[in-house]
Amino acid sequence: MVNLETGRRRLRYAGTAGMLSAALLLQGCLSPEKDAKGEDNNINTVADTESAEGNGKGSDAPETALELQDGIVGAVDEASAAVVGVTNLQTAGNYWTGSEETVPAGVGSGVIYKQEEGKAYVVTNNHVVEGASQIEITLEDGTKVPAKLLGADIWTDLAVVEMDDADVQDVIEFGDSDELKRGQTAIAIGNPLGLGFSGSVTVGVISGKERSIPVDLNGDQSIDWNAEVLQTDAAINPGNSGGALVDLNGRLIGINSMKIAEASVEGIGLAIPINSAVPIIEDLEEHGEVRRPQMGVTLFDLIDIPAVYQQEELNLPKEVTEGVVVDQVMQGSPAQKAGLRQYDVIIAMDGEPIANLIDLRKYLYNEVKQGDTVTLEVYRAGESMKTEIKF
């Protein structure tokens, strides 16, 4: 059962971790402050171009491999100036003097996405800036600029910070994460292990789309939210959090956020799709928070219910196999005013099919604003009906 209002996740960010399906360890990619030394712009290219691109050209492989390498280099040149370091500075007491001082608590990454009226705006992860008393941005050339937090959202793990744009050289262009295909080249740019490895580049492919990852937000070992993420095998390490996942055109397709950190698991990095991030970014920039419409229900996926219960308890026709089931309806909520009841099965919103909770959240959070009225298609006791819910 999933509570829509509070969500369910099983991930702890900021260098801590939770369990995925009681077996896989997920880890937020925020690096503790280190003096790591390493090469800038370290590019890992794909050796087997035929398998990576799936073009099947055979004898043309060397030429295609060179084209792919040139494409990667071009994409990095296009995007790297917009990828920055984000240092989380916190106040701590000095044991010897008893005074307080500001010290680095961790380093992550961020992406400059907008420049306007003397200000530049950076998107990063919430867990990168969480608890910060001050935030410092490090540009590609090493210039350090103080920044202030405009807003952060724990549910999507996104944050927006603002800084002076005098030294900013470039902003990134948004891509379209809905159009991504499995096997498409993906390039991660960020600061693994801290600023000593700033601007590091790793290359892989889009391994999967619309992955639903259960995450624990408060460390109580219970699921709070399901994060919708892209899966990539481009290496994402501590310090990459908040950095850019880009395509071969250098366009931003995802915000690197976490990885599965388990000895038996290799090459599973996770990023927030940019199409999901954009409305969150806009709300954080404008309001300092995400203004989400609330239905006032708890829900779970129909697919999780055995077929015998779908037909005998919910009285669903056999052809109805996808949707979300209402469990509890809150008093005075929009759902109650719309007449929703326990065990109603929602299959569409405004004509858009709702197969599961991810579909419902995507439509609700991306398409619906406060004051809107949405038409729900519902099965109740085996009968199809429609009702309107006003937010």
Q: What is the pLDDT of residues 307-331, one digit of tens each?
A: 888 888 898 998 999 999 999 999 9
Mean pLDDT of the chain: 83
- Name the packing angle between helices 357-367 and 274-287 (round to 10°): 40
Residue 30 DSSP class: P
Active site residues: 127, 157, 241
- Domains of the chain and any CATH numbers: 1-288 (2.40.10.120), 297-390 (2.30.42.10)
Q: Which residues contact 384 (CB under 8 A, 6 or more apart)?
A: 377, 378
Is residue 75 scored above 80 in pLDDT? Answer: yes
pLDDT at 178: 94
Does pTM surpass 0.85?
no
Is residue 52 scored above 70 in pLDDT? Answer: no
Q: 63 with 52: CB under 8 angstroms?
A: no
pLDDT at 230: 95
Q: How confident is residue 26, by pLDDT bands cut at 50, 70 and 90?
A: low
Is residue 115 scored above 60 in pLDDT? Answer: yes
Distance CA 341, CA 323 (A): 15
Give the residue with greater pLDDT, 49 vs 375: 375
Q: Which residues contact 42 (CB under 8 A, 6 or more apart)?
A: 197, 200, 201
Round to the nearest angstrom and report the end-to-end CA distance of the chain.
23
pLDDT tens by residue, 179-219: 999 999 999 999 998 898 889 999 999 999 988 888 877 77
DSSP 49-80: HHHHH----GGGHHHHHHHHHHHHHHHHHHHG
Is residue 220 scored above 50 in pLDDT? Answer: yes
Residue 173 DSSP class: P
The neighbouring-strand residues paired with 376 are 349, 387
Least confident piece of the model among 3-7, 177-181, 212-216, 239-243: 3-7
pLDDT at 226: 74
Q: 236 with 204: CB under 8 angstroms?
A: no
The neighbouring-strand residues paired with 288 are none
